[in-house]
Amino acid sequence: MIFYTKQHQYYCGIDLHARTMYVCIIDRDGNKLVHRNMRASGENLLKVIEPFREDICVAVECTFTWYWIADLCDRENIPFVL
User: Which DSSP symbol is given to 60?
Assistant: E
> Which residue, among 3, 15, 26, 32, has the nearest Cα to 69 in the 3D structure?
15
Task: Summarize pLDDT for 53-82 with one digit per residue, the tens.
Answer: 999 999 998 888 899 999 999 999 999 999
Question: Residue 62: what residue type?
Answer: C
Q: How far is Cα 42 from Cα 68, in angstroms, rounded to an integer?
A: 8
| Residues linked to residue 80 through DSSP beta bridges, in sequence order | 58
Question: pLDDT tens across 20-51, in order?
Answer: 999 999 999 999 999 999 999 999 999 999 99
- CA atoms of 75 and 28, how far apart (whole Å): 25
- Asked if 76 and 57 touch (Cβ cutoff 8 Å), the reply is no
